[in-house]
Structure 1
C-alpha cells in the first residue's frame, strides 16, 4: 500500500517521488516506470476520435489514484484519489487515512480544520468540504440528509454536526487541483472532460532542459528554410529554493547549419540516433572491397518535439521532423508536442488553361488532414507506414499514411490528425557550405 503525502494545490507523493500539478504526461509516466513492482496495473485512457476534447487519464486501479491531464497541453491538472481504502494519506506528516484511521468528517476537521463552508448536493447525496486546491467528498446516508439541509452551522465549523457512533460520513473521494475552482475540478468519470484550471509547468519539472512554447517554420514561396524556436528554461543564477523564474529563449536553426551550431543554439540533444545501414548491402559483389558508408544521424530533442537529421558527410542539417504526440500513435509519450505553425503557399494549378491562385494555408499541430488536404488539393495516393519494434511484433496502433507536398511529408493517423511533419531539403537545392545562424 502506498504511503503518500498530500500538498494542497501542488502534489501527491512521497520522499522518493511526487506527482506535481502542471507536470508533463511523459514525466508522470517516467515516475510510474521507475516504480515497477510498487505501482502496478496502470491504464492509460484517451479518446481515439476526439483526442483534443477528452481528458488524457492515467488510472492506477490497484492504488485507487487517477491522474487527469489536459488533452491539449498534456500536463497534469487534477489528482484524484477515488478509492481511499487502497492508499495511506498524510498531511503535514499527520496520517488521516489508513486501514487503522477512517477519514471521517471529524478526522478531516482535526487534520485540516474547517475554515471553509461545505456544500451539499441533495441530488447525489454528496457533501463536499473544499479547501484551496483540495476537496473531500462524503456520501451522506439519507437518514442524515436533514442535518445538512437545515443546519447551516457546519459552514463555520463541523462541530455542530452530531452523528451517532459509527454514523459519521467517511471520505469516498479526494481531489487535488490548482486554485480554488473546486466545482470545475469535480469530475468523477474517467476520461471525462474536466475544466480545472491548469498551472504553469513547475520549476521542479524543468530539469535543466529547454521547453518549447512555439515553433515558426520559416519558408519562401515553396521551400522551407529553417525553424524559429521560442523556448523557455530556468532563469540564470536562481535556484528553485530561491523562487527562480523561467526565462525565454529564441533561436533559429536552418538547413545547412552545422552540428556544432545546432548544439550551440539548442544545447546537447537528449539522444543521438544513427540511421540503420542497408541490411542487404552485404550481398552486393562490391561489399567486401568498399568500406561501409557513414550513417546519417538524428539529434533527438524530446522536450521540443523535434528531430534534426544531419548528413553523414557534411554534418549539416538536411531534415526536420516535428512531432504532435497524439495518443494512439506508435511514438506517443516519446516527445512533447511541437507547437508549430506552418504556412504553405499552395501550388498554382492550371484549370482550362487559366492559372488559378489560392491563398496561403496555415497548418498547426491541431489541424485535421481532411481540412489541410482540401485546401492544398493533395491528390497523391499515400504511402502506408506500419512501424514495428521487430520482425516478430506488430504495431498495436495500426498504420499511418504519408502524403508528400512540395518539400513536406505529412504523416496522418487514421483519425485524420497529423502525427508528424517532415521538412526536407531536395538534393539539388542543398548549399555546399554551412549556414551558421543562431539568433
Structure 2
C-alpha cells in the first residue's frame, strides 16, 4: 500500500503535498524524488501554446492535478478511480473515513458528513465537489436516478474557494488567487534593460521590492536578501565570446561564477574580481523545452520608460507574449539575426520534438526563443 495515498482531504486547500497554489516546479520536484511512491506520472500540455495553457499532471491511477497556464500553480485536484486497488486508496475528512477499499462512498455518506447543499448533478460544497460520473464513461448506460441515496461517488474534486463566498463554477483557465502556499515565493520580476531586475514576492500586499542592479548588487547582497543559492556554479563555457568584441574588463573579471536560484527561476553571473552581478538570466519553464523543470517559472516583465511624466503605468511586455511582439517592443520592426542553439547536443539520451532554439541579441538583452515563438529564457547584461 502507498501510505501517501491514505488521504486526509482539506476542502479549498488540497491534501498532503498536493496543496492548492503550489507551483508545478515544486510539486514535480517532490514527485521526482519519490519514485517508489509515485512510479507512474504523466505530464500533459498543449505543445503549440505551452507557455500560456494549463498543464495536467496525472499520477496513475488516482490523481489528476490541473495547473494554471500562466503562473503554473496547482488549480484543481481530482481524485478518481476510488475503487481501484492498485494501489488501494483511503480518503479521510477530519479523521473520518469517507472512502476505502472496504467502504464505498455514496451520496448519502457525503450528505451525512458535509450536510445539505444546493441541488444538481454533483454535490457541490465550498472548495470540494463530489461527482457521480467517471469522466463521462457510462453515458447512455443504465444508471441510478439523480438524487438516489445509493449513487456511488466516482470523483472528488478539490478547488480553491471563491473569494466572494459563492459556490459558482470556477473556470479552469483562471489563475489561482494568492494563498498560503505562495508565501515567500517570487511573484514577478520587472526587467529594465541596462539596469537590472526588480523582484516582488508573495504576499504582495506586504512585500517590499528588491532591486538587483547589474554592476552594483554584490554576492553578499544576494545572500542577504535571497539566502544562500541552492547551487554555485563556476563558469567554464566561454564559447559565446567569439561573437563579441573583447572589452578591457573581460580578462580582469575572469570567467565568473553563477548563483543558481532554481526555486525563483533566476541565475546571476557574478564577477570573480568585484563579486558584483554581471548578467541575470530569467527562465520561463516552458513544457517541452530542454530546460523544462530545471527552473521554476519566473514571471518576468520587460518595462520601458513611461510615455510622459504623468503616466504611472509604464508599458511592459510579459513572458507569455510572443517573441515578435517583444522584439517590436524592444525597438526592432524585424527580429535581428539569430544563432541556433540545440541543448540536446550534449545529452545523447535526451530527444525532444522541438529541441532547437534561437538566440536573438539586442542592446543589453538576449532572448532565447523556441520554434513556436515562445521566449524560453531572457539574459540581461
Tell me the TM-score normalised to structure 1 length: 0.70
Question: Which residue of the partner structure matches residue 289 of structure 1?
Answer: none
Q: Deviations over 1:284-330 (max 9, x none)?
A: xxxxxxxxx96411112233322110122332221111112221222
1:199: which partner in 2?
A: 177
Q: Which aligned pairs between 1:14-29 and structure 2 lie closer than 5 A?
A: 18-29=17-28
User: Given the superposition, is the C-alpha separation of residues 336 and 143 from structure 1 closer, same or farther in structure 2, using an over 3 Å criterion?
Assistant: closer
Once the 2 structures are TM-superposed, how far is the Cα of residue 344 of structure 1 from its aligned partner? 5.6
Q: Distance in 1 between matches of 2:33 and 2:342?
A: 30
Partner in structure 2 of residue 354 of structure 1: none
Partners of 1:28 and 1:370 in 2: how far apart? 32
1:309–1:102 CA distance, 2 compared to 1 (3 A):
same
Q: Deviations over 1:127-182 (max 9, x none)?
A: 3111111111124975753xx4xxxxx6xxxxxx56xxxxx210111100111566
Q: Secondary structure of 2:109's match?
A: helix
Distance 2:151 2:159 in 1: 23
Q: 1:232–1:249: 8 Å Cα contact kept in structure 2?
A: no
- Corresponding position: 1:247 with 2:203: no
2:69 and 2:173 in contact (8 A); partners too: no
* Alignment partners' CA distance in 1, 2:158 and 2:220: 45
- C-alpha distance 313-76 of structure 1, shift in aligned 2 (>3 A): same
Match of 1:137? 131
- The CA deviation string for residues 202-252 of structure 1, in whole angstroms up to 9 with x for no partner, is 25x64xxx4223322234xxxx1222222246xxxxxxxxxxx98312122
Q: Answer whether contact 2:70 2:175 (CA < 8 A) is retained.
A: no
Q: 1:387 aligns with which of 343, 355, 371?
A: 343
Secondary structure (helix, strand or coil) at the match of 1:118 reads: coil
Q: 1:68 aligns with which of 60, 66, 82?
A: 66
**Cα distance between partner residues in 2 of 1:195 and 1:174:** 19
Cα 1:46–1:38 shift into 2, 3 Å:
same
Conservation of the 8 A alpha-carbon contact between 1:311 and 1:318: yes
**What TM-score does the superposition give when structure 2 sets the normalisation length?**
0.80
Shift of 1:89: 1.0
Distance 2:173 2:368 in 1: 31
Q: CA deviation at 1:52?
A: 4.8
Counterpart check, 1:92 vs 2:90: no
Task: Report the number of matched residues.
Answer: 340
Judge conservation of contact 2:128–2:156 (CA < 8 Å) in 1.
yes
Where does residue 413 of structure 1 map in the other structure? 370
User: Which of 312, 321, 324 is matched with 1:367 structurally?
Assistant: 321
The aligned residue for residue 283 of structure 1 is none
Give the aligned partner of residue 312 of structure 1. Answer: 272
Name the counterpart of 1:422: 379
Q: Are the equivalent residues in 2 in contact too, given 1:184–1:195 (CA < 8 A)?
A: no
Deviations 1:359-417 (A, max 9, x none): x9743212201223355134533111111384533442411110111121110011111
Give the stretch that moved more between structures: 25-34 or 316-325.
Answer: 25-34
Does 2:163 match 1:184?
no
Q: Post-superposition shift, 1:70? A: 0.7
> Any unmatched runs of 5+ in structure 2?
134-138, 240-252, 306-313
3-state SS of 1:383 partner: strand
Q: 1:405 to 1:361 in 2, by over 3 A?
A: farther
Out of 83, 93, 111, the position equivalent to 1:109 is 111
Q: Deviations over 1:229-284 (max 9, x none)?
A: 22246xxxxxxxxxxx98312122212222223333433223211113679xxxxx
Q: Per the alignment, do residues 394 and 104 of structure 1 end up closer, same or farther by CA in structure 2, a change over 3 Å counting?
A: closer
1:82 pairs with 75, 80, 83, which one? 80
CA–CA separation in structure 2 for the residues paired with 1:326 and 1:143: 42
Q: Aligned equivalents of 1:79 and 1:38: distance in 2?
A: 18
Based on CA coordinates, which of the two structures has the bigger radius of gyration? 1
Distance in 1 between residues matched to 2:151 and 2:295, nearest whole Å? 44
Q: Calculate the aligned-residue CA RMSD, in Å.
A: 2.9
Pair 335,182 (structure 1): closer, same or farther in 2 beyond 3 Å: farther
Is the alpha carbon distance of 1:9 and 1:389 closer, same or farther for their aligned partners in structure 2, counting shifts above 3 Å?
A: farther
Measured after TM superposition, the shift of residue 65 of structure 1 is 0.7
Unaligned runs of 5+ in 1: 120-126, 149-153, 155-160, 163-167, 186-192, 234-244, 280-292, 346-359, 425-439
Q: Is residue 262 from structure 1 mapped to residue 263 from structure 2 by the alignment?
A: no
